Amino acid sequence: MERINLSVHPKDATTKILKTLSSKRAEDVLAKRFGIKGPGRHTLESIGKSYGITRERVRQIEEAGMKALAENNEVQKELQALHPAFRNHLSNHGGVSEEKRYLNSLADEKFHPHVNFILSLGKPVHKAEEDDNHHHRWFVDDETLNKAQTVVSRVVNELDSKKTVVSEDGLATLFSNHAREVFGEPKDEKSVKSYMSIAKSISKNPYNEYGLVSWPDINPRGVRDKAYVVLAKHEKPLHFTEVAKAINKSGWSRRTAHPQTVHNELIKDNRFVLVGRGLYALKQWGYEPGTVKDVLVSVLKQSVRPMSKDEITKKVLEKRMVKENTILLNLQDKKKFKRAGEGYTLV
């Protein structure tokens, strides 16, 4: 969301507005309540203790101060330099936006308390608190908010039905298609990105793929899920030390994934197959668990005729990353395999 050009800086406006209050205590209370006198917003209780009054009395001072500002013509004139710009800016971005994204477009983060204070006077736009499906968000009116949230719901349902991660462009296309249906008109890129920003249940992984936060390939819970995503992205077997490095590089967690821990976790999960010395692959790629001899038995069981050494070797190498000599050595076990003409079969 690009930064807006304001004729008056929010900090200057806030300073001027607070100075119109006749009570220094009211000025101080409002500044502290909105975090203008940082760090952070002060509680009613903390302000009360500093003045030796009750939290209820602080609340009354705050309420009276806000009412006085709302009725002050000088203040209203100051707000007219900002309120229409704040509302038009949000309207030009679809009428709804995630809170931090919207505030960042109005001023640097250190000035957000000033922006919040100005937005609370006259309420040119409105704020909806965070819930299970949406982040804190600002909106121009209820109808726009409800439609934007319907778009989010539809996209979430479509992702859930497909159960496949998408690129940022792919996600934008989903939002654009559903926004056109819900609003009854096409929405520009700025609006689409604003609707995307409020979706709490959609996130991206380190590979810039988007999906539901409940998906293990978007928000993996442990080493095993992280390793699964790493292997899926590399699309080839990796040594457990390489898997550990990839997990640490991804930035999923500040906790370091140690190679031995990765090895211990993967060997216990049937989604992974040890296909060579420390090399792991995904079972879904067609690799089979067990020893080389177990794989030999499996290969010959699936054949309706004796197989040559070359045929056997080729099939086993599709399921194991071992040397050809290792395969041929295991094939000499006469208790399990026997020669049949030019080929081999099971005993």
Q: What was the pLDDT predicted at 292? A: 87
Residue-level pLDDT at 173: 98
The pLDDT of residue 31: 96
Q: pTM (2 decimals)?
A: 0.78
Helix, strand and coil content of the chain, in percent to the nearest 5, comes to 55, 10, 35
- Give the model confidence (pLDDT) of 115-169 as tens digits: 999 999 989 999 999 999 999 999 999 999 999 999 999 999 999 999 999 999 9
| 171 within 8 A of 179, measured Cβ to Cβ | no
pLDDT of residue 213: 95
Do 55 and 45 touch, CB atoms closer than 8 A? yes
CA distance 16 to 33: 17
Instruction: Name all domains of the chain by residue range, CATH numbers in brackets.
Output: 21-71 (1.10.10.10), 91-115+122-204 (no CATH), 223-270 (no CATH), 292-346 (1.10.10)
Query: DSSP secondary structure string, 135-204?
Result: -SEEES-HHHHHHHHHHHHHHHHHHHHH---B-HHHHHHHHHHHHHHHHSS---HHHHHHHHHTBTTEEE
Question: What single string gives the DSSP state of each residue in 174-193?
Answer: HHHHHHHHHHSS---HHHHH
* 129 phi and psi angles, rounded to 5 deg: -75, 160
The amino acid at residue 288 is E
Instruction: Report pLDDT for 319.
Output: 82
Q: Output the pLDDT for position 322.
A: 82
Tens-digit pLDDT string for the chain (347 aa): 889 999 899 999 999 999 999 999 999 999 999 999 878 899 999 999 999 999 999 999 999 999 999 999 999 999 998 999 999 999 999 999 999 999 999 999 999 999 999 999 989 999 999 999 999 999 999 999 999 999 999 999 999 999 999 999 999 999 999 999 999 999 999 999 999 999 999 999 988 999 999 998 899 989 999 999 999 999 999 999 999 999 999 888 888 999 999 999 999 999 999 988 899 999 999 888 888 898 899 899 999 899 999 999 999 888 888 889 989 999 999 999 999 988 999 98
* Cα–Cα distance measured from residue 153 to residue 181, given in angstroms and rounded to the nearest whole number: 13
- Report how far apart the first and last C-alpha atoms of the chain are (Å, whole number): 71
CA 150 – CA 255 distance, rounded (Å)? 37
Q: What is the pLDDT of residue 45?
A: 96
